[in-house]
A and B are shown apart, each in its own frame.
Chain A
Amino acid sequence: MKSKIVWIQGVTCNGNSHSFLNYQNLDIFLKKVEFLYHPLLPSKYSLKELYEKRFDFDVLIVEGAIKKRYERGIVSLYTLIEKLSLKAKKIIAVGTCATFGGVFKSYDEKNIKGLIFDGEEKKGFFKELEEKVINIPGCPAHPEWLIYVLNMIEAKKKILLDDFLRPKEIYAYTVHSGCIRNEYFEWKVDAKSFGTKEGCLFYEQGCQAPYTHGSCNKILWNEVNSKTRVGMPCLGCTEPTFMKEEPFKTKTYMSIPANMPLGVPKRAYLTLTGVAKSFKIERLTKRLIDES
């Protein structure tokens, strides 16, 4: 029998819904599941029926931040989630808004939160549901991250979670892992400018990849690329601190990046930098592809 899913939206831009439609094996996946409600795909119920009817289902997916007095169908978003969460065996918060409050939280700090978390703190509107919830932050979440979680739930397999209830198989990596600019990072060669293939974006352009949990460079976006591979700094969109001010500039302290790569003490980093910079690797100072 197909797994039954209900996908509802809170305060959102629909980015996660559209990200999901990029999944390359969607036809195969949809043979295994049935959406009783989805914000874009044809589905069995209307929003009104979702609230009024009695039915059983397996997974509730919540996209978007939670705001108590936010209209959704014929009731408030809060009331709708309250009702659906009782029936759901598992709840997935898809995207950073549903997980931490996300970008829209800064419009109304007090009243916009995630399901379980309010920023970094476990003070979300539905914190009593913690046992049922798995968070897949990202702005948006990668479709394969969501499909992985749904497949694991269906197979009744245990998903190991970190402190923010994020699956470790996805978020134990940093976005930095697998970036094709890693060699420049190792030898402390910065990108002199946007629009080049060369250099690391961590030192000048604000890249947060070395301290952001996510597998963007392991499971590529649209199966072909990632922000950092193309030359755009990682915005740290899987973290509760998203979105930081000045994402295109690296904050420095005494000309050293203010945020260290994950788990690296500042002193050790300074020593390492000194050593790395003492190497003059000519290859890394040239264009990667040129005519000479």
Chain B
Amino acid sequence: MRVELIEKIEGEAKLEYKFKENKIDFVKIVFPHYRGIEEILRNRPVWDALAINPRVCGICGHAHLFATVRAIENLYQNAGIDVNITEKAKLIREITLFCEHIQNHLKWIYLVIVPIMKSIAKINIDQNSFLEIQKAIVNINRVLAIFSGQWPHSSYMVPGGVVCDPTNLDIMQARNFLKNALYIVEKRVFENMAFEEITVSELEKSRTDSGKIFRFLKENSLLSIGKANDRYLIFGEHSFTKRVKIIKTVSYPVKIKYVKEKSQKSGFAKNVTYKNNYYETGPLARMMLLKPNLIKQLHRVYKDGISTRIFARVLEILFLLKKVEAHLNSIELSQKSYNHIKTEIKEGFGESAVEAARGSLIHKIWIEKNRIKKYEIITPTQWNLSNGTLQNPATAQKAMIGLKNSKLAELVFRTFDVCSVCTTH
């Protein structure tokens, strides 16, 4: 067995490889850390989760906040209490969530994917690219902060809406920051911002970093490595997603009650299955639902190999930038930001799901005597990086089996945009 430490994935993981006839026969994924968030929440007043849960993760704290708010709102609804969220508050919540996705995906390309590609073969993306793209990240996080007060770690969403009350001036500033980010992304990542229209031949010719990444994969015969189970899950319900599983290209409805979490002997991450099967969640699942040209074309040829997975995430950047722009234009400022909810309930249960950058995030809350009795968090990386068996490998394991060396396996592993801190909350 050969063990390798994988760093800079929001913490670390260990990959334990077994080789057979010079090919990877099996890989075990181990996450070594644990911080005890679910225990910290126990016996706390319910709203404390709003302040604690963003601290699950430094990069998707808003997704955890959003999931927390929805879980508490669901708790109230299950107790028969009316929860009315205005359209304005819904749009603001989505704007900040989508901004968080965008900045995450940009960091993933330049800090996670490009460096591992460089260690495999020559790629014409220079060291300073990240510093240029960082200006786009700064601007996106400014859009976020206009509404949430700061990024990272804000608790600006509360049951009933959001705490902010933006003005036209705020919207104007947000639009300007977004424009700056759009300009940089268009110049550096993709020159054609028409997300639905991009084709494989256009991608291949592109002078931007997306084109360079595609050509790198093609020249090194890597376009179709990293195929997993071709099964996808989406649980978060947003303006462009719904609760579905997608098997190959067909969608079916799903329910959270069939999700099962199970502890593993080694490491602190828990395995997650849906009706005992492993699924992929994240941008590829979301793009398989939206079916833009590029993903349809890539999937037809390379199935769920790394090229489809990588460009699903790249394409989602373009899609979400346009979505944020449209949401900013749709906000009706005269609507209320927050509707007070009567909260006199002593015990109950609530659950929620949101789409975090890396995929479906599920929160469950049980309360007793008006305090948290139990809190459960299931993160996207748990879905993508569970450990199955040799006969029934989980998503990332399946994608790494059969590869010739651990460097390629690491590239495949990193295409899932691993979040170690979330996984070992």
Contact = CB atoms under 8 A, between A and B. Distances in A.
Contacts of A246: 45, 47-48
A127 interface: no
A71 B12 CA distance: 10
Nearest to A102: B55
Given A16-B58, A47-B12, A194 B131 contact: no
A70 B61 contact: no
A193 interface: yes
A221 interface: yes
Interface string B36-72: 1101100011011011100111110100000000000
Interface stretch (B76-84, B162-170, B192-200): B162-170
Interface in A31-45: 39-42
Nearest to B45: A246
A248 B12 contact: no
Interface string B120-136: 00000001101100110
A103 B48 contact: no
Nearest to A234: B149
A230 B5 contact: no
Interface string A69-93: 0111110000000000000000000
Given A22-B137, A27-B134, A221-B150, A9 B11 contact: yes
Nearest to A242: B51
A107 interface: yes
B238 interface: no
Contact of A230 (B11, B107, B148): B148
Interface in B136-186: 137-138, 141-142, 144-156, 158, 160-165, 167, 173
A243 B40 CA distance: 11
A197 B107 CA distance: 34
Contacts of B5: 46-48, 73-74
B138 A40 contact: no
A185 B137 CA distance: 35
B32 interface: yes
B32 to A, nearest CB: 5
A247 interface: yes
Contact of B59 (A18, A103, A221, A237): A18
Interface string A2-22: 000000010111111111011
Given A71-B32, A194-B337, A139 B153 contact: yes
A227 interface: yes
A87 B340 CA distance: 55
Contacts of B167: 197, 289
A219 to B, nearest CB: 11
B50 A248 contact: yes
A42 B35 contact: no
A30 interface: yes
A167 interface: no
A24 interface: yes
Given A194-B338, A232-B156, A70 B149 contact: no
Given A13-B57, A73-B12, A243-B51, A225 B150 contact: yes
A192 B45 CA distance: 22
Contacts of B165: 195-197, 231
B115 interface: yes
B7 interface: yes
A140 B40 contact: no
Interface of A: 9, 11-19, 21-24, 26-27, 30, 39-42, 46-48, 70-74, 103-104, 106-108, 139-140, 193-197, 216, 221-232, 235, 237, 243, 245-249, 289
Given A23-B138, A47-B5, A231-B149, 16 more contacts: A13-B55, A14-B11, A14-B58, A17-B58, A24-B138, A27-B134, A40-B111, A41-B130, A42-B127, A46-B7, A47-B7, A139-B153, A140-B152, A194-B163, A226-B150, A245-B44
10 contacts: A9-B11, A12-B421, A18-B58, A70-B33, A104-B40, A193-B340, A221-B149, A221-B150, A225-B146, A230-B164
